[in-house]
Amino acid sequence: MVTNEPATTVAVRQLMTAFAERTGLVGGAPPTRYLWTDAFAVCTFLELERRTGAGRDRALALRLVDQVHRVLGRHRADDSRTGWISGLGEEDGAAHPTLGGLRIGKPLNERRPDEPPDERLEWDRDGQYFHYLTQWLHALARVGRVTGDPRYVRWALELAGTAHDRFTAGPAAGGPGRLWWKMSIDLSRPLVAAMGQQDPVDGLVTFLELRAAAPAVGEPVPPDFAARIAHLAALAEGMYLATADPLGIGGLLIAAHRLAQLAAAGAAAPEDLLVTLLDQAGPGLAYLAADRQALAGPAADRLAFRELGLAIGLQAVQRIQALHAQHPAAFAALPALGAHLARLERYAPWRETIERFWLEPAHREVETWKEHQDINAVMLATSLVPDGYLAL
């Protein structure tokens, strides 16, 4: 048993232990997996392991990866279809668990082909989200780098290829096309025929991360991977990314930090996109600063996981500043970078304000916390010890 842990580590361990018990990662309860939450949880378990070296948290991270693949890589229990959603047999499916993508893990089964859309119900229906798959790609890349096991990066590359090819809709008027926002479990049809505002950028940055992670663990990059990166870059070019959603703002800042890490490591990455991401995070932050209730209202009127996404992103800005100072040559082509970082620095104290608010036990008794307890708890834990998630 680990003793004399810092107070922050103790708080995170309590949050993650309760999450593991509630969701069947430990104990005898059937596992209830949810892809977004589990991606953050894998990274946070890895960070707990880095801090303690006890072995238990690494084992939990690897067990969680296996559960996600065996639950979300297979058809639902209430589905007439069985087995791996890739269509592979048991042995091949276990060897390539991500080849068919991964389900979201929503409580309701997906909408039938003959069923009319219902926007309210769709939020609770299963399927596949591109932006959830990119979170899992990052988690697999982190596990691969930490363990040195190339299987995890191989699974990530296989998932990346499937996600790109199946989510890509045909080109319109000679353009690069689009990415469907939500697809069916078997990736045969779109369930929401729109494109997420940040999906192309998420895909591009994550695919660049994978391209750098593969040689680090001795895994070859597929020959067609460069074409997929080029396509995502074409989709992302010129997109308006500014948003007032705290989680979306955090996503922009996190993506910028990943590009900064790639640049500092000498990996090829679109340098101008780094500045663009920081620039387009600015209007949303200014909007939140002007809205007195956005981050200061009662707990019952707020969604913790969205605010905590912003808190994680603000810590990413601080790490970009450190990289900028440590590797000036890597950012020599970005003379405006320092000014962009300085403008964002004023928002850094929000991180502590958000965390302190949601660490208050009374604020975790409201329905808006309890309705999203797992994702809220894991995002809070990640914000408290963010390095496992923010690192490449």
The model's pLDDT over 117-134, given as tens digits with 9 standing for 90+, comes to: 999 999 999 999 999 999
How would you class 110 by CB atoms within 10 Å of its CB: exposed for 0-12, middle for 13-18, buried for 19 or more? Answer: buried
The mean pLDDT of 104-109, rounded to a whole number, is 98
pLDDT at 294: 86
pLDDT at 269: 84
Q: Cα–Cα distance between 165 and 170 in angstroms, integer?
A: 10
The model's pLDDT over 164-221, given as tens digits with 9 standing for 90+, comes to: 999 999 765 567 889 999 999 999 999 999 999 999 999 999 999 999 999 999 999 9
The mean pLDDT of the chain is: 96
The model's pLDDT over 18-46, given as tens digits with 9 standing for 90+, comes to: 999 999 999 989 999 999 999 999 999 99
The model's pLDDT over 136-160, given as tens digits with 9 standing for 90+, comes to: 999 999 999 999 999 999 999 999 9
pLDDT at 293: 80
Whether the per-residue pLDDT at 349 is higher than 80: the answer is yes
pLDDT at 3: 55
The mean pLDDT of 315-341, rounded to a whole number, is 96
The band of 1, judged by pLDDT with boundaries at 50, 70 and 90, is very low
Distances (CA, A) of 23 to 28, 124, 250, 304, 374: 10, 18, 26, 19, 8
The band of 2, judged by pLDDT with boundaries at 50, 70 and 90, is very low
pLDDT at 107: 97
* Long-range contacts, 114-119 (Cβ 8 Å, 24+): none
The model's pLDDT over 9-20, given as tens digits with 9 standing for 90+, comes to: 999 999 999 999
Token pair for 289? 């600063």
Q: Cα–Cα distance between 131 and 254 in angstroms, integer?
A: 14
The 3-state secondary structure of the chain reads CCCCCCHHHHHHHHHHHHHHHHCCCCCCCCCCCCHHHHHHHHHHHHHHHHHHCCCHHHHHHHHHHHHHHHHHCECCCCCCCCCECCCCCHHHHHHCCCCCCCCCCCCECCCCCCCCCCHHHHCCECCEEHHHHHHHHHHHHHHHHHHCCHHHHHHHHHHHHHHHHHHEECCCCCCCCEECCEECCCCCCEEECCCCCCHHHHHHHHHHHHHHHHHHCCCCCCCCHHHHHHHHHHHHCCCCCCCCCHHHHHHHHHHHHHHHHHHHCCCCCCHHHHHHHHHHHHHHHHHHHHCCCCCCCCHHHCCHHHHHHHHHHHHHHHHHHHHHHHCHHHHCCCCCHHHHHHHHHCCCCHHHHHHHHHHCHHHHCCHHHHCCHHHHHHHHHHHHCCHHHHCC
pLDDT at 292: 76
Report field, pTM of the whole predicted structure over 0.75: yes
Do residues 269 and 263 lie in contact, with contact meaning Cβ atoms separated by under 8 Å? yes
Contacts of 298 (CB under 8 A, 6+ apart): 366
Other CB atoms within 10 Å distance of the CB of residue 90: 9
How would you class 279 by CB atoms within 10 Å of its CB: exposed for 0-12, middle for 13-18, buried for 19 or more? Answer: middle
The mean pLDDT of 103-123, rounded to a whole number, is 96
